[in-house]
Structure 1
């Protein structure tokens, strides 16, 4: 009656409900509806191909919204750069972006690693109230860790 993907999604929905994670509930709910509507074949491959870029774009819009609204301006930027914490944040932002760049390569090239990363993200989101930006930066961190592991083995 129920296929393996539907059962897996229902399990994830249960975890989302227990953890009260609205983002995961919505994501799983949308996927279940698409699957049950029978449009999953083309839609899922399209989402897989474009979804990360959409997500990054939406997060970028959210981060830039205070600039667009005028809540943050050049004066704020200049003031912030006087703080050592701002320089730490600047360097951290650069590091994360550079690490995540390699994560894209890993997500595209290694499906079994992607499965583990997605599971790790789901667990962090559902059990620890994490945020689902994890697969991309997680892949970047995994890529970096794998390269370090290769250097020492």
Structure 2
């Protein structure tokens, strides 16, 4: 059932596991371990499904995590009037709109130019490992890259 074959992807996953352990980042460690196990076992048949659906599933889980404090009552919804009069809330809405738009540009770029994903992954891992970031960065990084490439190409 387990027949380890070493290739560049397995090597990258092992490096990611090591960086995750060194930086105490469970998200990278667990993700790379799961993918390495899948790659090296009969579970590899499910990797294309994860490649197609993983981003959507991840965004759903992330959104559930963000919304759960509202549902649990830990965070209270502000009154509607405050949403349009409090400058911090207005700025938060504007930034939220911008980041969602930027993430959309990132998904488009990753779809149109998948070879750039490697650089984005390496940059995200470095950011997570050495700068205490969190690994939600690839979409936003791709969005920023899309903006920069658009400026450079036009």
Q: TM-score, normalised by structure 2?
A: 0.87
Identify unmatched segments of 5+ residues in structure 2: none
User: What aligned pairs does 1:2-151 form with structure 2 within 5 A after superposition?
Assistant: 2-40=6-44, 42-75=45-78, 78-79=81-82, 81-151=84-154
Q: Distance in 1 between matches of 2:150 and 2:18?
A: 36
- 132-141 vs 1-10, which deviates more? 1-10
Q: Residue 115 of structure 2 aligns to a residue in which SS?
A: helix
**What is the deviation of 1:73?**
4.1
Paired residues of 2:20 and 2:129 also in contact (CA < 8 A): yes
Q: Distance in 2 between matches of 1:57 and 1:82?
A: 30
Q: Distance in 2 between matches of 1:112 and 1:45?
A: 17
Q: Distance in 2 between matches of 1:74 and 1:2?
A: 51
Greater helix fraction, Structure 1 or Structure 2: 1
Q: Distance in 2 between matches of 1:24 and 1:63?
A: 20
Summarize deviations over 1:2-40 as a string: whole Å, max 9, x none. Answer: 333222211111111111111111111111211222322
Cα root mean square deviation, aligned: 1.8
Identify unmatched segments of 5+ residues in structure 1: none
User: Would the alpha carbon gap of residues 24 and 74 (structure 1) be closer, same or farther in structure 2, given more than 3 Å must change?
Assistant: closer
